Amino acid sequence: MPYLFTSESVSEGHPDKVADQISDALLDHFLAFDPESKVACETLVTTGQVVLAGEVKSDTYLDVQNIAREVINKIGYTKGEYQFSGDSCGVISLIHEQSQDINQGVDRGAKEEQGAGDQGMMFGYATSETENYMPLALDISHKILHTLAELRREGKEISYLRPDAKAQVTLEYSDANEPQRIDTIVVSTQHDAFDADDEKMLAKIKSDIISILIPRVKAQLPVETQKLFDDQIKYHINPTGKFVIGGPHGDTGLTGRKIIVDTYGGKGAHGGGAFSGKDPSKVDRSAAYAARHAAKNLVAAGVADEILVQVSYAIGVVEPTSIYVDTYGTSKVGLSDGAIARKVAELFDMRPFAIEERLKLRNPIYLETAAYGHMGKQPRTITKVFESPYNGRIEKEVELFTWEKLDKVAEIKSAFSI
């Protein structure tokens, strides 16, 4: 019997994502000027205020207030009427030095013996239902909001948009777990106050979303996915009514509250650890990236159509405590999931320092991860510029989204005789 599955995304202007982006911008600056920095930085945003807290061990010093303001302005919170603006908000820093009790379990004489920064389990997931091996409902949700942000910045076809927004997509699947059609699309977007009454305002927003935004999103998708859009889709556009008060003024934001948006939209599993603001010694982040890298390459190599990889750690211990694989019955290699997991352990070195080295994680690459998902994006190399009143100006060429590279496919095919 057909079934429905739903995923959501949130925009870069959502309060929790504002907090994530500030935390990752701070992390990038620490790593740019001192690649060995240990960082765990949390951010809270609310009406007219930003609070920075956390633990840092670094040889550099930053103007954290200015970094936070730059992020806020770049997102689009630049007007006093939003009750939250990069130029006028207060920024309070409560960042202090990292506990030596924690650090002693991570830093060792030989870098290869670096222990995990915490205990816990991390998951990576991949599916063959999209070109980027991501769940389709989440992929479409991300594209809806990324495209909405493009329209907001252009300010032409839709001129009244403000930064805060959310989207949700519900797909209908067949018994064979294949997407059949889009059942429902939900979009809630912050907007300027209208001169017209609420009913006319909401009708205008709904018309623009369906006639301008959705065709742009559809055009970005493969032909087969475009066929899932039909005239029976149920649209809920700003279903609670007007949405003028939003962003950190409408809802307090915190780092790390959108972990399902950041990963797989409810598909697969999640160990509970957030990503943003954490340097790669924290396996919450680095091992989740490594598990995604493994899962994506396994699916791309043809081991299975859908794979979940779990890695777990004990704080201060070098080797992972377990590696688990679930192929959801889609394995194509005639091996049990346990046997596949043993091969994964041989193919992918999951020690914390090995992950950092393989995926080049001690680089300032994290701000780009902090909105529209950490997984499923195209790997690319860019040059980033960092300026500090204490450290001067540096340019660094960095490789983004290394965990999305399909660089282990040939090795996997050989190991599994595919």
326 is in an annotated binding site: no
274 is in an annotated binding site: yes
251 is in an annotated binding site: yes
The single residue listed with the structure tokens 């924290």 is 282
29 is in an annotated binding site: no
Residue type present at position 41: C
* Contacts (Cβ under 8 Å, ≥6 apart) of 410: none
Query: Rounded to an integer, what distance in angstroms lies between the CA atom of residue 292 and that of residue 296?
Result: 6
310 is in an annotated binding site: no
Residue type present at position 375: M
Residue type present at position 11: S
Q: Which two tokens stand for residue 244?
A: 């003028």
Please answer whether residues 129 and 322 qualify as being in contact, where contact means their C-beta atoms are separated by less than 8 angstroms. Answer: no
59 is in an annotated binding site: no
79-93 pLDDT, tens digit per residue, is: 888 999 999 999 999
CATH architecture of 3-9+136-246: 2-Layer Sandwich (3.30)
Q: What is the DSSP string of 102-165?
A: HHTTT--SSGGGPPBSS-EEEEEEEETTSTTSS-HHHHHHHHHHHHHHHHHHH-SSS--EEEEE
176 is in an annotated binding site: no
25 is in an annotated binding site: no
Query: Rounded to an integer, what distance in angstroms lies between the CA atom of residue 106 and that of residue 119?
Result: 12
282 is in an annotated binding site: yes
Q: Which two tokens stand for residue 338?
A: 């346990």
The pLDDT assigned to 101 comes to 47
108 is in an annotated binding site: no
Q: Which CATH number fits domain 15-109: 2.60.40.2470, 1.10.1040.10, 3.40.50.300, 3.30.300.10?
A: 3.30.300.10
The pLDDT assigned to 100 comes to 56
How many percent of the chain have pLDDT more than 90?
A: 86
CA-based torsion, 181, 186, 191, 196: positive or negative: positive
The pLDDT assigned to 80 comes to 86
The pLDDT assigned to 279 comes to 96
Please answer whether residues 371 and 261 qualify as being in contact, where contact means their C-beta atoms are separated by less than 8 angstroms. Answer: no
Query: Rounded to an integer, what distance in angstroms lies between the CA atom of residue 57 and that of residue 199?
Result: 54
Q: Which two tokens stand for residue 411?
A: 């090795």
Nearest to 230 by CA among 203, 213, 216, 210: 210
Q: What is the DSSP letter of 81?
A: G
206 is in an annotated binding site: no
- Asked whether this chain's domains 15-109 and 120-128+258-416 adopt the same fold, the reply is yes
Average pLDDT per consecutive 10 residues, the chain (418 residues; last block may be shorter)? 95 98 98 95 96 94 95 94 92 82 53 76 97 98 98 95 97 95 97 86 95 97 96 95 88 97 97 96 96 98 98 93 97 96 97 96 98 97 93 94 98 95
55 is in an annotated binding site: yes
Q: At what angle do helices 409-416 and 337-347 cross, to 10 degrees?
A: 130
If phi over 0 gives left and psi between -120 and 50 gives alpha, with beta otherwise, what is residue 172? beta
288 is in an annotated binding site: no
CATH architecture of 120-128+258-416: 2-Layer Sandwich (3.30)
Nearest to 406 by CA among 292, 305, 293: 293
Residue type present at position 219: A
Query: Rounded to an integer, what distance in angstroms lies between the CA atom of residue 182 and that of residue 5?
Result: 10
| Domain residue spans of the chain | 3-9+136-246, 15-109, 120-128+258-416
Q: What's the distance, CA 121 to chain centroid? A: 18
164 is in an annotated binding site: yes
59-117 pLDDT, tens digit per residue, is: 999 999 999 999 999 999 998 889 999 999 999 999 988 655 445 555 555 666 677 87
Q: Which two tokens stand for residue 310?
A: 């779990």
